[in-house]
Amino acid sequence: MYIYLPIAEISMNVFTIIGLGGMVGLLSGIFGVGGGFLMTPLLIFLGVPAPVAVGTEANQIVASSVSGVLAHFRRGNVDIKMGLVLLAGGLFGSTIGVALFALLRELGQIDVVIKLSFIVFLGIIGSLMLFESIRSILRARLPGARRGKLHQHNWLHGLPFKMRFRKSKLYISALLPFLVGALVGVLSAIMGVGGGFIMVPAMIYLLGMPTAVVVGTSLFQIIFVTANVTFLQSVQTQTVDIVLAGLLLFGAVIGAQFGTRIGAMLKGEQLRGLLALIVLMVCFKLVLDVVLTPDDLFSLEILR
Amino acid sequence: MMRWLMTTMLMLTIVLPGATAQAALVADLDQKEVQISTDFNGAELLLFGALKLQDDDGIAIVVSGPPKSVAVRRKDKVAGIWINTESATLVGIPSFYHILSTHPIDDIALPLERQKTRLGYNYIPFKLQSGSRIDEGDDKEWREALHRNMEANGLWGKDVGDVRMLENALFRTNVVLPANIHPGQYEVRILHFRDGMMINEEISMIDVVKSGLSSGIYNVAHSYAPFYGIFAIVFAVGAGWLAAVAFRR
């Protein structure tokens, strides 16, 4: 059964789209990640124009973050004050990001920039996760290994505009979360991701937030940042396809339900190792895309 | 008196075409409108007609779609990565151009006739948008790139042998419109060649329109973009909330 996607302006099999949503939903359920960083490249592999993949994914992440954050709210795992500072940065960054996106699109460079951004971030995150999981698997076998220091002080703690974040038990410069939010906001706009895969490590290692509130707080601000991206992409580039987003979401919701159940049965380190391999595979495919000599050096874009 | 006049008129209409040595050509499509609706995955139209054919005659049918501007870009390897380095924008390029014929075009139409009837990729004007330029001498390469890429995405094509003739009096063919066609007016030109010369021409039109939900969504997204953006957010928040409620853990 084919469906004509009104914004992507291509015809696609409905079950392919729902299946893709379901598969990424399953992974995000198993690993507890957002999945945007896999969904956008996979949509591009399936032939969805890269800008539409990015704009649409932002819209879908609004939905998945809303459904994810509710559980965290119930458990009180959201540091709203920290979330708002991150959000201020996120709105700033994503607005710049969408403007940059529109400019790059006009210059005909958006596709390669999207791919390169994914290569860099998937490559870094994938290798870090792989090393981390290998190390913890090895450490579990070596008794007596010691843990490192939990919280380190460095020059970042000397920045001005100090603010107290009760829930995170932190007294740090507000500039720090603002900048983290802004950086992730730019990436969110250009890559069509929530940015949780960068935000979460940054919150733990850079800001020193307790892990319990990290995921809820990151989801909280992702809702508003991706909503901002959805709005601005709709206005500036018309790349948000709600039919595609709706179908992906439908699949993702179902996939995530199975995923969480499977995830509960598997071991953490092995899980992370597996996710790392998936991430690195997608990264590798993207590397081939930009490095191998294309079949045709010329490409066309039919304009209005 | 009245009867006599009518008989004369009838005779005239029959005799006159023969007098100008022109064989009548009539053609029709089974469908004049194609709707790009939500379940659209391409369309196939039946084109049929009648004409007086001789043994060596040929028919060529040109289906051309609404003209568009097309950006052509060329990649080069920069620091190990293939990126677009040069680009040119062409104007008035038919977004669809298929030639269906009974024989290879070169066998049925003389070069001068091909030019006169704009039959073939080479007779499609290759016009750069003001401000766009291509290095001197590279014209051919860019032109070929346009032809190659339009063929690769199925929007242009040459389908020799796809027009079938019956009893030297009837012909039929299928006009296939792929899923990625652009909405607008499509012109179907039926050309009848004899001894390399075009002796008869008939033009039909097909309207390709977006319809249904997909058309509504497209229009809102382009004409009322802020409203569309807000709607997309409200839709996503609602769907996310619904999903959380439905699968409350």
Q: Do B74 and A240 touch (CB under 8 A)?
A: no
Of these ranges, A173-177, A240-244, A276-280, B29-33, the one predicted with the greatest mean pLDDT is A240-244
Q: Do A298 and B38 touch (CB under 8 A)?
A: no
Instruction: Specify whether the CB–CB gap between A291 and B81 falls below 8 A.
Output: yes
Does B83 touch chain A if contact means CB atoms closer than 8 Å? yes
Cα A66 from chain centroid (whole Å): 14
Residue pLDDT tens, chain B, 249 long: 555 554 444 444 444 444 344 557 888 898 899 999 888 889 999 999 998 888 888 999 999 999 999 999 999 999 999 999 988 999 999 999 999 999 999 999 999 999 998 999 989 888 888 878 787 778 889 999 999 999 999 999 998 888 888 888 899 999 999 988 999 999 999 999 999 999 989 999 999 998 888 889 999 999 999 999 999 999 999 999 998 888 775
Which DSSP category does A298 fall into?
E
State the Cα torsion B46-B52-B57-B58 to the nearest 10°: -20
**Residue pointed to by tokens 């992730």:** A184
**Which residues lie closer than 8 Å to B19 by C-beta, 6 or more apart?**
none
% chain A with pLDDT above 90? 47
Q: Do B240 and A242 touch (CB under 8 A)?
A: no
Q: Got the DSSP string for A61-119?
A: HHHHHHHHHHHHHHTT---HHHHHHHHHHHHHHHHHHHHHHHHHHHTT-HHHHHHHHHH
CB–CB contacts below 8 A, A to B: 187
Instruction: Specify whether the CB–CB gap between A89 and B68 falls below 8 A.
Output: no
Degrees to nearest 5, angle at CA A44 with A237 and A32: 100
Instruction: Report pLDDT for A137.
Output: 81
Q: What are phi and psi of B83, to 5 degrees?
A: -130, 155
Q: Do A304 and B68 touch (CB under 8 A)?
A: yes
Instruction: Report pLDDT for A151.
Output: 53
Interface test with A, best of B233, B235, B248 (most A CBs within 10 A): B233
For residue A144, name the pLDDT band (cuts at 50, 70, 90).
Answer: low
Q: What three-state secondary structure class fits B126?
A: coil
- Rounded Cα distance between B183 and B233, Å, is 28
Does A70 touch chain B if contact means CB atoms closer than 8 Å? yes
- Rounded Cα distance between A277 and B85, Å, is 33
- Rounded Cα distance between B218 and A118, Å, is 29
> In whole numbers, what is the pLDDT of chain A averaged over residues?
87
A297, closest residue in chain B (CA to CA) = B75
Beta strands in chain B (DSSP E): 25-29, 33-36, 43-51, 58-64, 67-78, 81-94, 97-101, 127-128, 156-160, 164-166, 170-177, 184-194, 197-210
Q: Pick from A289, A253, A290: which is nearest to A35 by CA?
A: A253
Higher-pLDDT residue of A27 and A230 is A230
Distance from CA of A254 to the nearest CA of B (A): 9
Interface test with A, best of B35, B37, B84 (most A CBs within 10 A): B84
Put simply, the chain A residues between 131 and 190 with a CB less than 8 A from any chain B CB are none
Instruction: Specify whether the CB–CB gap between B179 and B42 falls below 8 A.
Output: yes
Q: Which two tokens stand for residue A98?
A: 């969408």
Instruction: Specify whether the CB–CB gap between A251 and A21 falls below 8 A.
Output: yes
Does B209 touch chain A if contact means CB atoms closer than 8 Å? no
Q: Do A260 and B249 touch (CB under 8 A)?
A: yes
Tell me what ipTM this predicted complex has: 0.88
Does residue A231 register a pLDDT over 90?
yes
Q: From the list A1, A67, A235, which residue is nearest B243 (CB)?
A: A67
Which DSSP category does B172 fall into?
E
B184-194/B197-210 β-pairing: antiparallel
Q: From the list A4, A253, A292, which residue is nearest B39 (CB)?
A: A4
Instruction: For residue range A253-268, list pLDDT tens digits in order.
Output: 888 888 888 877 877 7
Instruction: Report pLDDT for A154.
Output: 64
- Rounded Cα distance between A106 and A237, Å, is 10
Put simply, the chain B residues between 97 and 126 with a CB less than 8 A from any chain A CB are none
B144, closest residue in chain A (CA to CA) = A298
**Which residues lie closer than 8 Å to B12 by C-beta, 6 or more apart?**
none
Query: Alpha carbon of B6 to those of A170, A240, B12, B16, B39: distances in Å?
Result: 102, 64, 10, 15, 51
For residue A129, name the pLDDT band (cuts at 50, 70, 90).
Answer: confident
Does A45 touch chain B if contact means CB atoms closer than 8 Å? no
Q: How far apart are the first and last CA of chain A?
A: 28
A170-173/B43-51 β-pairing: unpaired
C-alpha dihedral sign at B136, B141, B142, B144 = positive
Instruction: Report pLDDT for A143.
Output: 62
Q: Pick from B41, A12, A125, B217: which is nearest to A21 by CA?
A: A12
Q: Which two tokens stand for residue A152?
A: 């380190």
Q: Do A234 and B84 touch (CB under 8 A)?
A: no
Q: Which fold has domain B23-210?
A: Immunoglobulin-like (2.60.40)
Does B76 touch chain A if contact means CB atoms closer than 8 Å? yes
Burial of A162 (0-12, 13-18, 19+ CB in 10 A): middle
For residue A134, name the pLDDT band (cuts at 50, 70, 90).
Answer: confident
Q: Do B244 and A70 touch (CB under 8 A)?
A: yes
- Domain positions in chain B: 23-210, 212-242
**Which residues lie closer than 8 Å to A98 by C-beta, 6 or more apart?**
A189, A229, A232, A233, A236, A237
Minimum mean pLDDT range among A118-127, A276-285, B49-58: B49-58
Instruction: Report pLDDT for A125.
Output: 86
Instruction: Specify whether the CB–CB gap between A194 and B181 falls below 8 A.
Output: no
